[in-house]
Amino acid sequence: MKKLLLVLIAIMITGGITMAKELNQPFAKGDINPYSKFFTGTTHLQRLVEKDDIWNSSIGNVTFDAGARTNWHKHSGGQILLVTAGEGRYREKGKEIQILKAGDVVKIPPNVEHWHGAAPDSEFAHISIEPNLPNNQTTWFDAVNDKEYK
């Protein structure tokens, strides 16, 4: 029994077993994203500011498991992403993928078709700001296939 315990400890120390750890981000991870049908992989959403008549915006913390991503989509009033943790990807239709890290800000103009999500091997979190409500509507398109993602 002692020998087995020593072997397991040695494996853990040498990196043979990876212990899962929570992504270090400033806001709660939230619940499973209610818009999951527009995503590949698992994402979570924590609403920070609900849309209303005073602020004219919706703000949420979105957390992506490794490899998770949105479908292609656009916002008629634009979108702003504030990257808070992990490593992510962002791509506008017809352009190259951008690698995103904590502290990055992505300003997406109105009606620009795009997708965003986690890197293949990293969780990712960003604050999503949808300005110009109530007229900012999201239009969802096809899922991002593996070739487009990589």
Number of domains in the chain: 1
In a domain, 84, yes or no: yes
Give residue-wise pLDDT tens across range 9-66. 443 444 443 334 578 999 999 999 999 999 999 999 999 998 888 888 899 999 999 9
Q: What is the pLDDT of residues 70-87, one digit of tens each?
A: 999 999 999 999 999 999
For residue 7, tell me if it sits in a domain.
no
Whether 58 is covered by a domain: the verdict is yes
**Does 126 score more than 60 pLDDT?**
yes
CATH number, domain containing residue 37: 2.60.120.10
pLDDT at 3: 47
Task: Please name the residue that has the structure tokens 């017809």.
Answer: 94
**104 φ/ψ sector (left φ>0, alpha ψ -120 to 50, else beta):** beta
Arithmetic mean of pLDDT, 98-115: 98
73-83 burial code (b ≥16 CB/10 A, e <16): bbbebbbbbbb
Is 133 within the bounds of a domain?
Answer: yes
Kindly tell me if the per-residue pLDDT of 142 is higher than 80. Answer: yes
C-beta atoms surrounding 12 within 10 Å: 12
Tell me which residue of 71, 60, 61 sits closest to 133, measured CA to CA: 60
Q: Find the domain containing 52 and state its range.
A: 23-149
Asked if residue 10 is part of any domain, the answer here is no
3 falls within a domain: no
7 pLDDT above the threshold of 70: no
CB 83 within 8 A of CB 149: no
Q: Report which of residues 147 and 17 the model is more confident about.
A: 147
Please report the pLDDT score of residue 52 as a whole number: 80
Q: Is residue 54 part of a domain?
A: yes
Q: Is residue 102 part of a domain?
A: yes
